[in-house]
Structure formats: structure tokens, C-alpha cells
Amino acid sequence: MQYCGDFRTTYEKDVKIFQTPFVKICMGFLGVALVALPFLVKGEYLWISMQIVIAVIGAVGLNILTGFTGQISLGQGAFLGVGAYTSAYITAKMGLPFWVGVPAAGVVTALAGMIFGIPSLRLKGLYLAIATLASQFILEWIFLRWEPVTGGSYGIVVPRPSIGGYVFDSDRSYYFIVLVIAAAMVLFATNLMRTRTGRAFMAVRDHYISAEIMGINLFKYRILSFAVSSFYAGVAGALYGHSLRYVSSEQFNIGVSIVYLAMIIIGGLGSILGSIYGAVFMILLPKLLTVVTTQLGTSFPGIAEVAIALEQGIFGAIIILFLIFEPDGLAHRWKMIKAYWKLYPFSY
């Protein structure tokens, strides 16, 4: 018997990634679009697309920690930096290939994340936020001062990856590497949330005492969450470093941490899809603001001088408006829109 509507009668159906054939088709189209993108756009636009894909990895990582496990982190920017410097050191100074550098960046950053995650065993909420803020400043300072490894204020020049004789020198070829890694990591995160580990993360977030009573080892899962999240940050940072071909300490300041936090809050806490929306939004927004302010600058010359400051201000204002009027994020809004059309025109 065929019911009208989308009914789930087994657990397997309920935890499926693609709930309906329609979603599968849509995802197929999205995949094709992402692969075709570098052939359709070029220059600045391709660069922005690449940055979005890299940011998606970092945002998904932060969402695993903050959105799914409920551990607020203000240090994502510094963890990106750890990844970028690790990969830079391995590829530029030790001469090993990119394919070693990026996984190593993930592992080293995961270790760093575990170390800075140790306070989370005793601290929560605000105190943890402040502890991670401290880790951001401490790491930033290390980036600048540990000159033999990080190159100090000069930074490190990083090569692009290569296979055999082929060098992924153009943005287009590099985009594909980034895309494949990002797709794999997003898929892994989605699947992770369907396993015992993912459910344990969410239990820790929702009520840690209940979680502990139900047999979840808080120590293990908090540290694990920090490790997974930092692994993502490390890979994202490494990819970012290789995309720029240059790593320096000011690329990973507190501002980056704020942007990543804004991504997952605006996208939607505790939602993989939300992290993707958030990453797209937060990377596009500054570019859009730059376009707007330069446009305004041509008609009002006074604005050109203060354009950068003005951009920052508008950026902040948009975050404030979002938090006040759309506190559950874009993913929630997307759900509401879907629900509206599902029930249309009888939405009651």
C-alpha cells in the first residue's frame, strides 16, 4: 500500500542521508554544478568559490565541536593556523609532498586541539569560551615568535601540490582537490552524526549529567570532539595555506575565529547543512560589501577612505540583525520554507 506523503516506518529510513529520491536528484545536480563551476567562472570568482569550499571544511569542524557537542570555541582561527603552519613546514621546509602535509596538518592540529581541550573537562560555557580565547592569543603569539619553524613575521612560502610531474598550479586544478577533500569530509561528518559517537556528542551537549548516567564517558567524548573538530580545522587551514601559497600569522587572528563562529551561528548550530550555508554566506558577505562600498566610493569620494572600517561595521550590524531576527540560523529558515511548500496550500 502506498501512502501519500513521506512516512518513515523503520529506523533505517529515519537515519537515511537522502530521505527521498527527489533529494538524491537535487544532490546530483549540486554535485554536477560544483564540478562544472570552475569551467564556467574564472579569476576572482573561482578564487571565492575555492575559499567557500575551504571554509565549509572549517565550519563543519567547528559545528561538530560547538553545535553538536556544545563546547564553545573562540580558537578556531588559531587551529586553522596550526594546520597551515604544519603543512607549510612539512612541504616547504622538509620537502615532503602535499599529500603527506595535509593529513599531517590534520593530525597535529587534532593533537593541539586535544591539549587545549583539556580545560573543557572542568569548565563549561562561558569559562570554556574564555579559555579557548586565551588559546587563540597564545597560539597567535607562538606563530609570530617561534621563528625557526614559523618564519616569524616573514611567514613561509608554500608550494602547490603535484602528482608525478603534474603540478596543480592553476586555481582550477587546485579547486578540484579542495572539492574532493571537502566532499569527503562533509560526508564523513554527516555519517559521524549518525553513529554512536555522534549521538554521544549530542547527549553531552543536551545534558552532560544525563549523558554520563547513560554511560557516556564525558572525558573521552569531549576530547574526541575537540580532536575531530581540530582535525577539520587543520585540514582547512592547510588547504588555505596552499591556496594562498603563503602562510603568515596575521591570516589566523581572532577575527578569523569570529568569522567562523558567525558562520555556524548564522548557518545553524548543530546542523551540517547549516555550516555549509553559513560558510557560503560569511565568505560572500565581505566580498559583496567590498563591491557595494567601492560602488559608493565612486559616487561619494569621502567613503573610499573609510571603506574598510565601514565594511567591518556593516558586517557586525548584519550579524546582530541575524541574531535578533533569525536566532536559529539559515538551516532552520530553510526547513520552514520546505515545510511551507510541502503543505501548500493547506498549511494548517
Q: Which of 176, 208, 246, 334 binds another protein (CB under 8 A)?
A: 208
Q: Which of 30, 288, 317, 343 binds another protein (CB under 8 A)?
A: 317
Cα–Cα distance measured from residue 159 to residue 93, given in angstroms and rounded to the nearest whole number: 10
Site for another protein in 100-119 (CB under 8 A): 119
Instruction: For the CB of residue 331, give the shortest distance to another protein in the complex, in Å.
Output: 15
Residue 316 interacts with another protein (CB under 8 A): yes or no: yes
Residue 123 interacts with another protein (CB under 8 A): yes or no: yes
Cα–Cα distance measured from residue 109 to residue 243, given in angstroms and rounded to the nearest whole number: 19
Residue 184's alpha-carbon distances to 58, 180, 294, in angstroms, are 13, 6, 38
Residue 291 interacts with another protein (CB under 8 A): yes or no: no
Residue 149 interacts with another protein (CB under 8 A): yes or no: no
Cα–Cα distance measured from residue 46 to residue 191, given in angstroms and rounded to the nearest whole number: 29
Q: Which residues contact 269 (CB under 8 A, 6 or more apart)?
A: 63, 66, 67, 329
Q: What are phi and psi of 153, to 5 degrees?
A: -80, -10
Site string for another protein, 5-44 (x = CB under 8 A): ----------------------------------------
Q: Which of 214, 291, 323, 343 binds another protein (CB under 8 A)?
A: 323
Residue 125 interacts with another protein (CB under 8 A): yes or no: yes
Instruction: For the CB of residue 300, give the shortest distance to another protein in the complex, in Å.
Output: 13
Asked if 84 and 237 count as a contact pair (C-beta separation under 8 A), the reply is: yes
Residue whose C-alpha cell is 596550526: 82
Residue 154 interacts with another protein (CB under 8 A): yes or no: no
Span from 4-12, 57-65, 287-295, 319-327 in contact with another protein (CB under 8 A): 319-327
- Residue 157 bridge partners (DSSP): 246
Q: Which of 15, 214, 306, 343 binds another protein (CB under 8 A)?
A: 306
Asked if 83 and 136 count as a contact pair (C-beta separation under 8 A), the reply is: no
Instruction: For the CB of residue 306, give the shortest distance to another protein in the complex, in Å.
Output: 4
Asked if 189 and 225 count as a contact pair (C-beta separation under 8 A), the reply is: no
Residue whose C-alpha cell is 587546485: 174
Span from 3-11, 26-34, 94-102, 262-270 in contact with another protein (CB under 8 A): 262-270
Instruction: For the CB of residue 15, give the shortest distance to another protein in the complex, in Å.
Output: 26
Residue 122 interacts with another protein (CB under 8 A): yes or no: yes
Span from 100-108, 175-183, 233-241, 317-325 in contact with another protein (CB under 8 A): 317-325
Cα–Cα distance measured from residue 111 to residue 227, given in angstroms and rounded to the nearest whole number: 7
User: Three-state SS string across 120-188, please?
Assistant: HHCCCCHHHHHHHHHHHHHHHHHHHHCHHHHCHHHCEECCCCEECCEECCCHHHHHHHHHHHHHHHHHH
Q: Which residues contact 345 (CB under 8 A, 6 or more apart)?
A: none
* Nearest in space to 230 (alpha carbons), one of 51, 69, 56, 62: 62
Residue 202 interacts with another protein (CB under 8 A): yes or no: no
Residue 137 interacts with another protein (CB under 8 A): yes or no: yes
Site string for another protein, 37-76 (x = CB under 8 A): -----------------------------x-----x-x--
Residue 313 interacts with another protein (CB under 8 A): yes or no: yes
Instruction: For the CB of residue 249, give the shortest distance to another protein in the complex, in Å.
Output: 12
Asked if 302 and 245 count as a contact pair (C-beta separation under 8 A), the reply is: no
Residue 235 interacts with another protein (CB under 8 A): yes or no: no
Q: Where does this chain bind another protein (CB under 8 A)?
A: 66, 72, 74, 119, 121-127, 129-131, 133-135, 137-138, 141, 144-145, 208, 218, 258, 261-262, 265, 269, 305-306, 309-317, 319-320, 323-324, 327
